[in-house]
Structure 1
Amino acid sequence: MTYETLNYIVDDAIATIILNRPQRMNALTKIMEAELRSAVEAAGRDENIRAIILTGAGRAFCAGMDMDELEVLPPEDIQAEQWMRPYDMNRRADYQTRYSYFPAAPKPVISAINGAAAGLGLIMALYSDFRIASDKAVFATAFAKRGLIAEHGIAWMLPRIIGHANATDLLLTSRKIDATEALSMGLVNRVVSADLLMDTARQLARQLSDEVSPRSVRTMKKQLWEAPFQSLGESVTQANTEMVMSLQSEDFKEGIAHFVERRPARFTGC
C-alpha cells in the first residue's frame, strides 16, 4: 500500500506502520490521521498478518497534533462523523472512536516508541497492546500546557494503566518523563537501547506470529479490552462461551498435536 504520510511494510506475517513526517516529529495531520486508521484497519482485515508494529521515522514517535492544523482546527471537528465510525460490529463501539480503534483491530498492536510520544502520540501508545520504549523516549500528556483537556478517553485509559495518582500527575502538570520513569509507572512494558528497539519489537511480533494461536490472541485481546465494562460474572460467562468454541477449533487441535509431536506449531487462526 502507498500512503502520503506513513510507510506500510509487510514482512512475512508482520505489518509495520511507520509515521513518516520526521521533519515535524511525526506530528499528526488530518491526512496522517486518516491514513493511520486505514492502515490499521487494512492490517486487521488481512488474514496473512498476525501482528502490527507502530513506530515513527526519525527521532520522534509522534509529538501530537501538528500545531499548524491545531491552531485553525474547528471546534466541531472533534465530533465529526468521519472520525467516529465503527468498522467492526463485533467490537465494542467504545474502541472504534477517533483514536481508540486500535483495540478493535483483531491483531495485537505493538508500539515501538523511538522518541517523543506526546499528546495524541501518547494516546496512540496507550491504546496499543504492547509498549516497548527506546531509552531515548520521552512522554508527556501536553494538554494542560495547550489549554486543552484530557482528550480522547485518556482520563479513562491512563489511570487503568499507571494508577490514579500517576495519571493525575501526568495530566495536570503536563511534565515530561523519561523512559526509566515510564517503566517504573508501568506506562511501558520494557525499555531497550535505541539500537535494539525495532529488533525487540520484531522479536515480540515474531513470537506472536509463530508460537501462539492467532485465534487465541484475537479472542483474548477482545476479552481483555471488554473486561473493564463487565462484572466478574459477565466475564466468566463470556469466557465459558468462548471456551466451548475454542475446544472445537482447528487451532486447539493443532495446539495439542504440536505439543504431543514435539514440533513447531502450525496454527491457522481457525
Structure 2
Amino acid sequence: MADTDILYDVSQRIATVTLNRPDRLNAYTASLGEQLRAAMRRATDDPGVRVIILTGAGRGFCAGADMDNLAAGTASGGATLAAENPKALPQPFDPASSPDYQTVHSYFPAVPKPIIAAINGACAGLGLVYALYCDQRFAAAGAKFTTAFARRGLIAEHGISHTLPRLVGLSKALDLLVSARKFDADEALRLGVVDRVLPPDQLMAATRAYALDLADNVSPRSMAVIKRQLWAVDQLSMRQAIEVGNQEMLASFGSEDFKEGVAHFVEKRPAAFTGR
C-alpha cells in the first residue's frame, strides 16, 4: 500500500493489518481510518486470505482519536461527517448486511472473514471501539484499556454502547463507560472484554497459531455464514434465528465445502476447502 499509516502483509492465508503510527500509540486519524478500511477491503477481496489479524506497531494497539484532532475540535475528522451522510460512505463489504454494519466505523462485522485483534498495548476510546468490532480479542499481559470518552466530555460513541454490554453485561458496561477508568488485561479477561491474555513476547505467535488453524482446517464458507449469524443474533427473535439457521443449513448441504468436509474426514486426510 502506498500510504504508511497501515502496514499490510499476507502469509499462510492470514492477512496481518498493523496500525502504524507508533510515535502516537497508533492514535486514530481520518487518514488512518481510510487506509484501514482499504486494507480490510483488500483482505476481503483476496481469495488467498482466510483470516485477518489486526494489531498495532510499537507499544500500543490504538490510543483512541488523535488528541491533536480532539484539541482542534475535529474528533474523527471527515469520517464523522461521513457517518452522518450515508451517501458519502464507500460501498459496504456485504450489501445484504444490516445497515448497522455499514457505517464508517462499524463495518468489521460485515467483513466475511474472522478478524482477530492482537492487542499489544494501550487500547482506548476509538481503539477499544475497533477492538470490540473484531470477532475475537487476544491481549498481551500488561495491556491497558479504557473507554476514555466520559473523561473527555464525550459519550459512548460509534456503537460501543451496544457492543460492550453485549460482552460484559449492562452494569459492568456502565461502570467502564461512566467511570472511564483504566483496567488491565487480566481484568479485561475476567470481564469478558478479551478472550485470551498472553505474555507479550508470545502474543503474535499464539494469535497466528490460532488463525492458522482456522485457515487450514475450517471451511471459509462456514466461517463467513457463522459470523453473519452471530452478529445478526441481537436483531432476531429465537424463532427467526432458527429459521435463518435452517435456511443456511440447507444451503450448506449443497456446497463444495460440505462435500469436502465429509470426504476429508472419511478419508482421514487434511481438508482442502475452497470456500464454495
- TM-score calculated relative to the size of structure 1: 0.97
Q: Deviations over 1:192-243 (max 9, x none)?
A: 0000000011011101100110100000000000111000111111111111
What is the rounded CA distance, in whole Å, between the counterparts of 2:89 and 2:24 in structure 1? 23
Mean CA deviation greater in 136-145 or 91-100: 91-100
Match of 1:35 in 2: 35
Structure 1 residue runs of 5 or longer lacking an equivalent are none
Deviations 1:132-153 (A, max 9, x none): 0000211100000100000001
* Distance in 2 of aligned mates of 1:151 and 1:83: 18
CA distances 1:50-69 after superposition (whole Å, capped 9, x unpaired): 00000000000000000111
Separation of aligned partners in 2, 1:42 and 1:189: 26
2:47 alignment partner, SS class: coil
Any gaps of 5 or more consecutive residues in structure 2? none
For the residue of structure 2 that corresponds to 1:160, the secondary structure is helix
Distance 1:60 1:74 in 2: 23
C-alpha contact (below 8 Å) 1:86/1:93 kept by paired residues: no
What is the percentage of aligned positions where both structures have the same residue?
52
* Aligned position for 1:64: 64
Q: 1:177 aligns with which of 164, 176, 183?
A: 183
Residue 191 (structure 1) aligned to one of 197, 202, 206:
197
Instruction: Please give the residue correspondences for 1:229-268 in structure 2 after superposition, counting only pairs within 5 Å.
Output: 229-268=235-274
4+ runs deviating over 3 angstroms: 73-77, 81-85
Q: Hey, what's the Cα distance between the residues in 2 that align with 1:132 and 1:186?
A: 11
Determine if contact 1:2/1:8 at 8 Å carries over to the other structure.
no
Matched, 1:14 2:20: no
1:90-105 equivalences in 2 (<5 Å): 90-105=96-111
CA-to-partner distance for each residue in 1:83-111, whole Å, 9 max, x for gaps? Answer: 57634212112012121110010000000
Q: How does 1:45-64 map to 2 (within 5 A)?
A: 45-64=45-64
Which residue identity is paired with 2:109? P
Given that residues 221 and 275 in structure 2 are in contact (C-alpha distance below 8 angstroms), is that contact kept between their aligned partners in structure 1? yes
Say if 2:122 is the partner of 1:127: no
Alignment: residue pair count: 270
TM-score by length of 2: 0.95
